[in-house]
Amino acid sequence: MCGITGWISYDNDLTTQRPTLDAMTATMACRGPDAAGTWFDTHAAFGHRRLAVIDIDGGRQPMTVEHDGRTQLVTTYSGEVYNYRELRAELEQLGHTFRTSSDTEVVLHAYLQWGEACTERLNGMYAFALWDPRTQELLLVRDRMGIKPLYYYPTPDGVLFGSEPKAILAHPAVRPTVDAEGLAELITFTKTPGHAVYRGMHEVRPGHFVRVNRAGLTVSRYWALEAREHTDDLDTTIAHIRALLDDIVARQLIADVPLCTLLSGGLDSSAITALAAGALAAQGKGPVRSFAVDFVGYTENFTPDDLRGTPDGPYAHALAEHVRADHRDIVLDTATLMDPGHRAAVLAARDLPNGLGDGDTSLYLLFKAVREQSTVALSGESADEIFGGYRWFHDPDAVNANTFPWIAAGLSGRFAGGHATREALLDTGLLGKLDLPGYEARRYREALAEVPYLDGDTGHQRRMREISYLHLTRFVQILLDRKDRASMAVGLEVRVPFCDHRLVEYVFNTPWAMKTFDGREKSLLRAATRDVLPDLVAERVKSPYPSTQDPRYGEALRTELRHLAADRDAPVRPLLDATALAEATADHATNDIRPGAELVLGMNAWLRTTGTTLEL
């Protein structure tokens, strides 16, 4: 896993622009702490920061393919292709020769052999740029599910690109500017494919190419979810899902560095950990190492809420004992969560203050601790979107609402529940200008217009296909981006087995009645993995990523809000509702301010540290 960046300029000689490329590349150091590299051509400049995972010595980048002393192709590449060994063997049969053992070189030769069609053969998570000196063309490619990020910024004579916005913003020609649409995207709980919030910047959509040449820039799609008839019966479906999971986990255990799993004690992470334990044992390796996040006093003082009925700790420990994992809890306290340095690191990692408050900080701190012992971690992310795990999948009001179901279920407030909203402290005039409900409605209609159907999709089955599509193309992007930024901020590679496109395609087309055949959430996943799980874990009801329940956390937020209210130079002040701010900071105030306070405090730090201009 790595950080990539680059610059294409058809009107300039980029060999004279090393300081600018070095500055762009330096912003990616967190994603690639092991090595740095640059490559220059007259009209192309590539930068790379490497996190060495496969072929430690031979996988340095940017990487080129030479023939008769001339460069045929160059790449700056981030990600992992899990079937690279099979592809390498096939390419060798076709006459290709390799000088390294890396998957990066396999991608280069795959493109030389099959062109853009090579992406149809790649199984993995990746974002990469290819420059062909012969045609003077650039190709930007992003994996099918959007696990790895990739942004671009068209210029009058080419393009800038990078794994994260910060790489592009390091270019002197780019100014961080956010307009009304960008601010609406930031505040609402949406993740519009291709939208990057910053004006003029775009994100390469999952499953898409961006091709750049002297004629301009074109975007094309190479993969999308399709509606296909599901003909397997229930037993065959369960068996096929298990076979896929066994293959996926085994592939994603390949690494030349220490590896672990992230274990919450929920069905998803427990299934991955148990399957990993079994695969490692079959290879004569192990035990599997696992990590969980926890908070001081959380289990002992846990109070159930609308989203979480149980604390994670007992379930994580039960699974770890069941598979004999080498398990460690990362236990955090409120002072650590509120530490200004940690919160600044999270903001720097995400580039934008659109996160999940203490959930982001705790995730960052979990990954920071994991990185001390492992370089690669397997996660249970995305199983809920694929198998129908969230409670709103099973809430008729949320399912039938004329908006994104997670918004209808109240998730735009906060993961921890409650009635507060992210926009609670913002000026009413600003909110009127942004028209957040209208923005959400437009994005919802755009998403629905993409949904593929079968002729037989009617009634509830048709609606649940829509709900699944919304989660697999919108909601999951919020969580994948969050996990990628938090992990790569500390140089940890997180793999997401449930995002294997073969599994996603198969389960997407499985009828909803079969996905809930036992009347519960994630019926198919539970049935497919029950034999490797203790009953306590297999029967556990979905509980989202934990959020601290320590009342001192809310008090600390309120104290920070009071400091902000007293700071006349606070850059976020013009955006706030004075009355709402006064009520939130009043003595003895007890109203829930967490989502609004976390957004406002984050926006203030963002505006102050990045110099972003709001043009509303």
Helix (H) or strand (E) holding 408: helix 405-408
- Among 371, 304, 290, 294, which residue's Cα sits nearest to residue 333? 294
Rg of the chain over CA atoms, in angstroms? Answer: 24
Q: What does each C-alpha distance from 17 to 35, 39, 64, 173, 522 come to in angstroms?
A: 21, 11, 20, 13, 53
Whole-number Å distance between alpha carbons of 265 and 536: 10
DSSP characters over 218-272: EEEES-----------HHHHHHHHHHHHHHHHHHHT--SS-EEEE--SSHHHHHH
Please enumerate in sequence order all residues whose Cβ is within 8 A of that of 467, keeping only pairs 6 or more positions apart, or say none. Answer: 393, 399, 405
Residue-level length of the chain = 616
Please enumerate in sequence order all residues whose Cβ is within 8 A of that of 10, keeping only pairs 6 or more positions apart, or say none. Answer: 43, 136, 157, 158, 214
Whole-number Å distance between alpha carbons of 79 and 300: 40
Whole-number Å distance between alpha carbons of 317 and 312: 9
Helix (H) or strand (E) holding 161: strand 158-162
Reduced 3-state DSSP string for 164-177: CHHHHHCCCCCCCE
CB 380 within 8 A of CB 266: yes
Q: What does each C-alpha distance from 615 to 242, 338, 612 come to in angstroms?
A: 51, 31, 10
Catalytic residues: 2
Phi, psi of 48 (to 5 degrees): -150, 135
